[in-house]
Structure 1
Amino acid sequence: MVSVPTVDLRTWRTDGSPAVVDRALRTAGFLLVSGHGIAPDLRAAVRAQARVFFRLPEEDKRPYAVEVGGRGWLGPGAEANGYAEGTETPPDLKESLSFAAEGPGEDPSVGSEWFAPNTWPAEVPSLRPLVTAYLARMRRLSDGILELLGVALGEGETFFTRHTTRPTWGFNINWYPDLRTAGSPRPGQFRIGPHTDFGTVTVLDRQQGRGGLQLFTDEDGWQNAPYDPDALTVNIGDLMAFWTGGRWRSGRHRVLPPPVDEPAEELMSLVYFYECNPGTDVLGIDSHRYLREKLDAIRVR
């Protein structure tokens, strides 16, 4: 089992957690966080309503279809995360509902790309208020995590959050259907192929399963990710690794294909990608140009 510490966000300023965080992010790039304040009932309600959408006939979902980076439904075969590493893998065995930051941007050209309106499925009207409530909590939580990371890096609580006054974010509800729905995996095919996330910090509410999350470290290779139903999983992405000058590593991970001996296993993850303000210079890297290039890279054409 990969060593991934659990940090209580209510007490990290007094219990020595910053040093623990620094060590973990230098090896696996992952943490578990407790004391996050996101109610289990809200997480369960988002999943329940999203499941209503995913179980609709394909012809009802098709009007919401978008490509990677869009706001709407990413259907089967739309995405292959292994492409980000330059690996020609089969498409990922998943479907997603994708949402992102809304509202006018300070620069109209930035606003049209990164702050466009979301698409909400008319067939599931109760999904919108639930997701909106969840996202408001995620924004506050993510800034709190960035404060912890700033201290862990030895730079102070506002080192990262001074760049999140007008941040972009993405939110994917990933549905990993059972084997009977997805079909038998092809060689080298995963629910999500091996990759590192591209941005700043990812906050993941996941379910445990045989076809679940695995982490990679140089010391241990691929190992099952530790799981705590009361904790959220946090990993840093490429931009955060760049920001630290390579001190911390972007957490490499994958989601295993549906298990052959448990053909009915179905999982759903709530994945929040929190980014900095558009135009932020990360040690010479244009943050959002990098994000766009990576999103374009994993699109199946």
Structure 2
Amino acid sequence: MTRDRSPATPVTPAASETPAAPETPAIPVIDLGPWLSGEPEARARTAATVDAALRTAGFLLVTGHGVDPELRTEIRELARGFFRLPAATKEPYAVKVGGRGWLGPGAEANAYAEGTATPPDLKESLSFAADLPTGDPVVDAEWFLPNTWPGEIPGLRPAVETYLRAMRTLSDQLLALLGAALGESDDYFARHTAHPTYGFNINWYPGRDTIGEPQPGQFRIGPHTDFGTVTVLDRQTGKGGLQVFTDEGGWADAPYAPDALTVNIGDLMARWSGGRWCSGRHRVLPPPADAPAEELMSLVYFYECDPGTDVRGVDSHTYLRDRLDAITAG
């Protein structure tokens, strides 16, 4: 699977980069129930389907994950209360990319990671990350600092911490499945997550009625691939929503199912597979002109691995830090 990462002049989504009538990429729905059942034939079928999908788009839809939909709704409602606060109230929580707190307008431009100059992404984020210390002061100071919890929204912390526990469990299940899909043991990847790093973003995509007219080439999130092992996304559908790129079909709207979580692999996992699988390239379209009040919110869990893991000759966290720095705007 080849990728064109060369710098390019930004184009709007209506320009030549987007097919007039895109075909949906081959992104299957994977029910984790048969895999978790332990039945050998069911596990083998699931692993084969996953392998095929990760060789094309790098994306899956996953059901049978056991993550409470009411918890996801609660987090959105709580986070919306924060995002709707005045900018002056949010400003004390402001951080740069990779920090724990509020990423305000103009903080991030994901297309920078591809070497493409674009305006900053049209979003705000509440960002959290792994916070359980390892005992190594150098590692902890970079990767396991305490999270910042907005005092104005006291219910957010317990809801997010419950969600993060569910995401950790699910991500390790997915890594076991990926090990089998690659023809290895279930712990081929999972044995490198004894004390892993992760990031969690609550991304708020306000409508044009809030942010005004997008600049040329400006997206809610610009084209990019994720950086880690697996990303687990709980998203909402909309006209200005997620698109996925394949070499065969170009850009196309990602399929959506209300009860499914969207899963894609990142650069480290693509490298770990020896290039067999592709890191899922994607973007989030700008807020649509014909639905100016459309507001979407995504819960995005970026799973990684233990600090210092060797991924085919690359230090995992040296790579991660470089990529986080690369998408920092301003």
CA distance in 2, matches of 1:160, 1:22: 15
Please say if 1:48 is aligned against 2:80.
no
Deviation of residue 142 (structure 1)?
A: 0.4
Deviations 1:44-81, CA, capped at 9 Å, x for gaps: 00000000000000000000000000000000000000
CA distance in 2, matches of 1:117, 1:103: 8
Aligned equivalent of 1:202: 231
Counterparts of 1:70-85 in structure 2, within 5 Å, are: 70-85=99-114
CA distance in 2, matches of 1:27, 1:182: 35
CA distance in 1, matches of 2:127, 2:247: 32
Aligned equivalent of 1:273: 302
Aligned equivalent of 1:179: 208
CA distance in 1, matches of 2:241, 2:268: 25
Aligned equivalent of 1:64: 93
CA distance in 1, matches of 2:198, 2:218: 28
Unaligned runs of 5+ in 2: 1-23
Please say if 1:149 is aligned against 2:178.
yes
Please say if 1:164 is aligned against 2:187.
no
Deviations 1:14-44, CA, capped at 9 Å, x for gaps: 4311101001000100001000000110000
Aligned equivalent of 2:154: 125
Return the letter of the residue paired with 2:32.
L
Deviation of residue 106 (structure 1)?
A: 3.9
The number of equivalent residue pairs is: 301
Return the letter of the residue paired with 2:120.
P
Q: How does the TM-score come out when normalised to structure 2?
A: 0.90
> Which moved further from structure 2: 10-19 or 53-62?
10-19
**C-alpha RMSD of matched pairs (Å):** 0.7
Aligned equivalent of 1:4: 27
Which of 4, 7, 18 lines up with 2:47 in the alignment?
18
Deviations 1:183-223, CA, capped at 9 Å, x for gaps: 11111000000000011110000000000000000000000
- After superposing on structure 2, the runs of 4+ consecutive aligned residues of structure 1 that deviate more than 2 Å are 12-15
Return the letter of the residue paired with 2:270.
A
Q: SS of the residue aligned with 2:245?
A: strand
Q: Percent identity?
A: 70
CA distance in 2, matches of 1:204, 1:298: 19
Deviations 1:264-293, CA, capped at 9 Å, x for gaps: 100000000011100100000000010000
CA distance in 2, matches of 1:90, 1:218: 25
Q: SS of the residue aligned with 2:228?
A: coil
CA distance in 1, matches of 2:65, 2:133: 29
Aligned equivalent of 2:328: 299
Which of 244, 247, 262 lines up with 1:233 in the alignment?
262
CA distance in 1, matches of 2:173, 2:62: 11
Q: How does the TM-score come out when normalised to structure 1?
A: 0.99
Deviation of residue 105 (structure 1)?
A: 2.1
Return the letter of the residue paired with 1:5.
P
CA distance in 1, matches of 2:230, 2:183: 18
CA distance in 1, matches of 2:194, 2:29: 28
Return the letter of the residue paired with 2:295.
E
Q: SS of the residue aligned with 2:72?
A: helix
CA distance in 2, matches of 1:113, 1:179: 36
CA distance in 1, matches of 2:140, 2:107: 25
Unaligned runs of 5+ in 1: none
Deviations 1:162-191, CA, capped at 9 Å, x for gaps: 000000000000000011112111110000
